[in-house]
């Protein structure tokens, strides 16, 4: 049984379930459910014969590269760009947030706002001792670095 084609409707109002409309007259859960029912119509561009809603099946775009090119890209994409280089030039993170911001929040007893900047007095990004951290606004921080030239 083929799924009914989706018709375009304005993105205002509510879905038949009462939730806000996301796309094509449906809320997000119903829209995603409807997308899953639609059959992929395109053939994969690599020639494998697989069907997709896009140009290639996931990962198949690399099949068009030579084996040397695939090996070169594999060596480049080893994840090292996302890791600390060991040069002590990046901020340490604790549970996906910068450690110096967490230390300052604990010191102040309140969460930091967008405008709050935590400045390291000794310019060492790894020294997150509370005595080394200073709270500034963005404007104060810019003036500080313009004045001191660091």
pTM above 0.85, yes or no: no
Cβ neighbours, 10 Å, residue 33: 11
Per-block mean pLDDT, blocks of 10 residues, the chain (150 long): 57 81 85 82 88 87 85 69 61 82 92 92 88 93 85
Residue 2 has what pLDDT?
A: 55
Q: Residues near 38 by Cβ (< 8 Å), separated by ≥ 6?
A: 3, 6, 53
Residue 11 has what pLDDT?
A: 59
Spatial distance between the Cα atoms of 88 and 14, rounded to a whole number of angstroms: 52
Q: Is 78 exposed, middle or buried (0-12, 13-18, 19+ CB in 10 A)?
A: exposed
Cβ neighbours, 10 Å, residue 98: 17
């Amino acid at each position: 049984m083929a799924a009914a084609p989706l018709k375009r409707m304005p993105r205002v109002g509510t879905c038949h379930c009462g939730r806000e409309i996301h796309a094509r007259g449906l809320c997000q859960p119903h829209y995603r459910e409807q997308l899953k029912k639609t059959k992929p119509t395109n053939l994969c561009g690599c020639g494998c014969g697989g069907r997709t809603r896009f140009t290639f099946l996931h990962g198949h775009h690399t099949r068009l590269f030579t084996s040397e090119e695939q090996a070169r890209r594999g060596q480049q994409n080893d994840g090292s760009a996302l890791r600390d280089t060991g040069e002590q030039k990046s901020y340490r993170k604790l549970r996906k947030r910068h450690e110096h911001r967490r230390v300052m929040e604990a010191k102040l007893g309140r969460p930091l706002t967008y405008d709050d900047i935590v400045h390291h007095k000794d310019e060492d990004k790894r020294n997150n001792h509370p005595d080394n951290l200073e709270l500034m606004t963005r404007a104060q921080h810019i003036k500080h670095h313009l004045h001191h030239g660091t």
